[in-house]
Amino acid sequence: MQMLSNSELSSNGGAGLGLIEMAKKTGNRLDYAFYPLDKEYSYYILSKTVDSGGTGSHDTGKRETFDGTSVTSLEKLMDEKNIYLIWSGHVSPEVGKEVISFAETKLSEEDIAGRQRKRVFSTLVELLDNVGNYSPGREVEEKYGKPFAMIRLVDRVYYLSTGNLILKSKVEYLKEKLDSVNRLDKEGLKEMFIKSLTDLESDSDSTGNMGLIEMVRKSGSKLEYYFDDINEEYSYYSLTVSVKENLGS
């Protein structure tokens, strides 16, 4: 209230109101670090912990202060690998919406044709649905490997990737579906999609076919996939789709 009463708001900031709001809403201290880049600039990291403790990492009562080196290392790695967006964690309908919303905001910032942005967005929706279809559950994912979603932007081509755990008993069946979709041309994909719609029943698995078909149709590229063994029960399933600027390129 003092800041509102006694401070002036300007185009350079809100007189510290944003920092106060972060602390109020989370109940935690502000974790921060500054890493000098040159004589003029530093790299500024601000981190917020949302829990019931109300202390965060940058607590004067603790011996260890906040260390942001892992953040700077991740930023450098993302820059080197042309990683545009990365996210990891359990996928639920609500979480999927948040990831899609964030991706949509990022895409709107790029000088990319609207048609390509739309295809990237719709392909990402199908990829996240695919992750949810094969998820063995949060508890297993915490133990053996969490799902991830990643977008790389290289020479105006978007590479969309997802990964998630899958029961080994489902791998061969899924491989058959992936390969069957990859073998089809544009007309064949259309025919398979119509057949999947016709055969759709509440207890059928045709929706899985439809999702894979839509990925290829919307992206204009084949599905690249890998299955890595985790243990006797689970494998880790990675799927990548590329979206070029023009479907015919």
Domain annotation covers residue 89: no
pLDDT band at 105 (very low <50, low <70, confident <90, very high): confident
Q: For the chain, what is the domain count?
A: 1
Provide the 3-class DSSP secondary structure of residue 239: strand
Decide if 219 contacts 242 (C-beta within 8 A).
Answer: yes
pLDDT digits (tens, 9 = 90+) for 64-101: 677 888 888 888 899 999 998 888 888 877 777 888 88
Domain annotation covers residue 48: yes
pLDDT band at 12 (very low <50, low <70, confident <90, very high): low
Higher pLDDT, 2 or 149: 149
Domain annotation covers residue 192: no
pLDDT (0 to 100) of residue 201: 56
Whether pLDDT at 144 is above 80:
yes
pLDDT band at 31 (very low <50, low <70, confident <90, very high): confident
Whether pLDDT at 39 is above 70:
yes
Give the separation between CA 46 and CA 199, rounded to whole angstroms.
52
Find the domain containing 40 and state its range: 26-59+66-76
Domain annotation covers residue 207: no
Most confident of 20-34, 149-163, 198-212: 149-163
Whether pLDDT at 113 is above 80:
no
Domain annotation covers residue 20: no
Domain annotation covers residue 35: yes
pLDDT (0 to 100) of residue 206: 45
Whether pLDDT at 249 is above 70:
no
Give the separation between CA 129 and CA 164, rounded to whole angstroms.
12
Whether pLDDT at 181 is above 60:
yes
Q: In what order do the strands lie in the sheet with 234-243?
A: 83-88, 148-154, 157-167, 234-243, 224-229
Mean pLDDT of the chain: 82
Specify the pTM: 0.76
Higher pLDDT, 206 or 149: 149
Domain annotation covers residue 30: yes
Domain annotation covers residue 38: yes
pLDDT (0 to 100) of residue 202: 44
